[in-house]
């Protein structure tokens, strides 16, 4: 799943003395000067004339699949869109990202082709329990009912179809996608199984050494590991059954 993630660097806003990140963008390099980025909402507005760009209530996977097939039929798409969106849904379910809205994905066009590719998975900040205060994290580590309730509330930003009232639950969205595209299921299982739990814990522990105004604490590192590894286990259970 790492193939579609742009590099992200720890940074400090010196004007406000606040920690943050600097994300490497995916166009504008010396060998890609002609590349052109088109946000997902631009396509959705063409396919859904009444599309609500403020709330994104019609943001749905069925229309995204329709767009992907149009790009594929035109011979423009330079990669497998079925795998791309399967990995995207799985990645968001794994980290608990609830904000993959219509401006957080798009298409990059190469003018010398023309060929198109979907963007890397960018703007993933609404995830990993970022909103939870230390007391809440401590309580959830002890209280399985509260922890399970938190996991169940997680939803993708998009619905399955335009007219659906509810957004896709994180894990159910992945399994529903795999029901429509069964060849993607073993790819996701292999990606999830390839993980080493200790590597994740080591990376998270490394972040605690950064000297920041609001430091990343060992407690938060332990919680994120617990949260992410639990999501991984439940994703595997859902995909393997």
Contact 1, 93 (CB under 8 A): no
Give the chain's domain count: 1
Asked, for residue 17, whether it belongs to a domain, the answer is no
Asked, for residue 109, whether it belongs to a domain, the answer is yes
Greatest alpha-carbon pair distance for the chain in Å reads 56
User: First vs last Cα of the chain: how many Å apart?
Assistant: 21
Asked, for residue 121, whether it belongs to a domain, the answer is yes
- Among the listed residues 119, 140, 120, 126, the one whose alpha carbon sits nearest the alpha carbon of residue 226: 140
The pLDDT, as a whole number, for residue 34 is 76
Q: Find out whether the peptide bond into 114 is cis, omega within 30 degrees of 0.
A: yes
Question: pTM of the full predicted structure?
Answer: 0.94
The pLDDT, as a whole number, for residue 4 is 60
Residue 184: give the domain boundaries. Answer: 28-240
Asked, for residue 3, whether it belongs to a domain, the answer is no
Q: What is the pLDDT along the chain (241 residues), one digit of tens a residue?
A: 444 667 888 899 989 988 888 888 888 777 666 789 999 999 999 999 999 989 899 999 999 999 999 999 999 999 999 999 999 999 999 999 999 999 999 999 987 778 999 999 999 989 999 999 999 999 999 999 999 999 999 999 999 999 999 999 999 999 999 999 999 999 999 999 998 999 999 999 999 999 998 899 999 999 999 999 999 999 999 999 8
Asked, for residue 172, whether it belongs to a domain, the answer is yes
Measured distance CA(201)–CA(23) in Å, rounded: 22
Asked, for residue 6, whether it belongs to a domain, the answer is no
Looking at residue 210, which CATH number applies to its domain?
1.10.1070.20
The pLDDT, as a whole number, for residue 5 is 66
Structure token pair of residue 136: 């809440």
The pLDDT, as a whole number, for residue 25 is 85
Asked, for residue 2, whether it belongs to a domain, the answer is no
Asked, for residue 142, whether it belongs to a domain, the answer is yes
Measured distance CA(124)–CA(208) in Å, rounded: 20
The pLDDT, as a whole number, for residue 24 is 81
Neighbours of 194 (CB within 10 A): 8
């Amino acid at each position: 799943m790492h193939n579609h993630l742009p590099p992200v660097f720890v940074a400090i806003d010196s004007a406000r003395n606040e920690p943050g990140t600097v994300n490497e963008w995916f166009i504008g390099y010396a060998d890609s000067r002609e590349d052109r980025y088109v946000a997902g909402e631009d396509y959705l507005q063409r396919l859904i004339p009444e599309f609500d760009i403020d709330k994104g209530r019609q943001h749905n996977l069925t229309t995204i699949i329709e767009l992907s097939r149009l790009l594929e039929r035109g011979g423009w798409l330079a990669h497998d869109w079925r795998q791309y969106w399967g990995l995207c849904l799985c990645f968001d379910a794994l980290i608990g990202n609830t904000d993959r809205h219509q401006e957080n994905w798009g298409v990059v066009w190469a003018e010398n082709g023309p060929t198109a590719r979907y963007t890397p998975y960018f703007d993933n900040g609404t995830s990993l329990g970022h909103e939870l205060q230390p007391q809440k994290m401590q309580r959830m580590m002890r209280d399985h009912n509260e922890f399970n309730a938190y996991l169940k509330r997680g939803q993708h930003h998009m619905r399955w179809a335009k007219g659906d009232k509810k957004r896709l639950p994180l894990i159910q969205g992945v399994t529903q996608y795999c029901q429509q595209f069964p060849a993607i299921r073993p790819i996701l299982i292999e990606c999830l199984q390839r993980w080493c739990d200790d590597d994740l814990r080591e990376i998270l522990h490394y972040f605690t050494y950064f000297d920041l105004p609001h430091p990343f604490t060992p407690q938060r590192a332990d919680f994120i590991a617990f949260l992410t590894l639990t999501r991984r286990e439940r994703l595997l259970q859902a995909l393997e059954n």
